[in-house]
Structure 1
Amino acid sequence: MSLFHIFLVAIIQGITEFLPVSSSGHLILLPALTGITDQGLAIDVAVHVGTLGAVILYFWADVRKAALGTPRMLTGRTDTEGSRLAFLLLIATIPVVIVGACLSALDLSSALRSVKVIGWTMLVFGIVLWWADQRGASHKTAADWNLRDAIVMGLWQALALIPGTSRSGITITGARQLGYERSEAARLAMLMSIPTIIASGVLLGVEVYATADFETAKDCAFAAVFAFGAAYLALGLMMRLLQSINFTPYVIYRIALGLVLLWIAYTTGDPMGPPA
């Protein structure tokens, strides 16, 4: 891969991973709409590692708290702030793991990677995000996160396995619907991304390990660094903006992109669909 191709993939992943606009949808669309060769599984893993590093660094205080509370949580005690956070993150991750395993077992993941699917999910879940953001109350903070809310948000997060949905977007939607403040909804969604990215990265990493070589490792290192920088900047910008604006700008972008993709899919044919 050329350095420009690696840079392009990493920047797209880094910017869109934590914004409610779907990173997977954009990465799937890149080769489909531009003709660029698909970046491959190794680069996918690398950019996810980069974004994982960014969210861990940005929310280091919460991550450290949960990490220190994990041993206590594993003994069945959730009587401290850290062990409680670790437990709730674990519970919130279970739905996406179960649904992901089912999709993989039924070989449905590839069938969902189409411009039509991404167009519809961009459009529909963008409108759902707007509805939840406008109608949702804003009386809860991360300190109010409980078992019921973790399960509900985990179920919302599982929908993100459909390309174009946006993991952060759909989780924020669930949090806003439950009454969390905008910045707190985003904070919880970002923390929930950590075990999810780790789980998917480990699974994909096992597949990549057997075929990795020096050239691939070098490309992956560049991709991870670029993705880390882009993700950290995008995450910081979004969290600052949420102090003064709502999610409507992201909704407008999703709706516009969704309509364009549906127009392409239904008028010129789906670039990722079966041949006519």
Structure 2
Amino acid sequence: MNARDLVLAVDVGGTKLETAMVDAEGGVIAGTRHRAPTGPATDAASLDAALRDAIARTLASSPTAPVAAGIGTAGPVDLPAGTTSPLNLPRAAEFPIVRTVAAASGVSDLTLRLDGACIALAETWVGAARGASDALVFVVSTGIGGGILSGGRLLAGGTGNAGHLGQLVVAASVDDAAGLDTAGGGAGWTAEGLGSGPHTVAWARRQGWTGDTGEDLAADAAAGDAIARRAVERSARVVGIAVTNVAMLLDIDLAVVGGGFARVSADYTELVERSAHAHAVNAYGRRVRVVPAAAGADAPLIGAAALHWRADLLR
């Protein structure tokens, strides 16, 4: 490893994509970070164009060519095929992300994982999960995604989709005893369908709240608005149920929570932990600690680069 070696980091999500160069210490190289918006209207052609443009700008602003590329993306992914079908980008299903990044960058050493898995790698490498052996790392934002560390290694699963925390079903019906007021079945009963930022805002509006965004919700909850506060508590309760499901199944010690919506209230992390402990059936589940993420806003890019720099953490 040369001290000047850099890795091209790529992160594709439901609201934006980003690219940057990252060094062997997890540092994002100044001036190499470029982004483009994404969203439900993004189709395969526009995603391809935006990704190629961002990569070209990152390479042009880099002091050296990359030795490898790490790709984190919203999923589901198909690691053998090198494709992704982000739930929040329905028009870009089965997008050939590995082929696109290879063509745009000229790099042959590429590794693909879920964005949640990449964030887990970042927190394990430079953040709140350093030294952990068995942990869940996740974000609550536009969606809810995560990665799982087990026995000191990142779980991938058969197709690369281990860690899809947001798709855990946490309510059985619209009459669920927890009073979660689900709006429908299927995805509407999942942790993401009930507890993510946009869905929490939508729930609050159905109760009569008149704000528009997660930022509005945070401000009103802090100011004492009862509906806004209930919405925050509901989200944390749902997420806590998902955390305890993982704790029951995998006997984890630590859950690290990040993402924009996790900052909706000062006590959100505490509320998630309280819910996780309250819903744990077995005593070992109540030992899981829920702590805030520490890798910061660069975590998706740091984690994508860690697919190369910290390949020792991969199975």
The TM-score bracket by the shorter chain reads under 0.3
TM, length-normalised to structure 1: 0.26
Of Structure 1 and Structure 2, which has the larger fraction of its residues in strand? 2
TM, length-normalised to structure 2: 0.24
Of Structure 1 and Structure 2, which has the larger fraction of its residues in helix? 1
Of structures 1 and 2, the one scoring higher in RCO (CA 8 A, sep 6+) is: 1
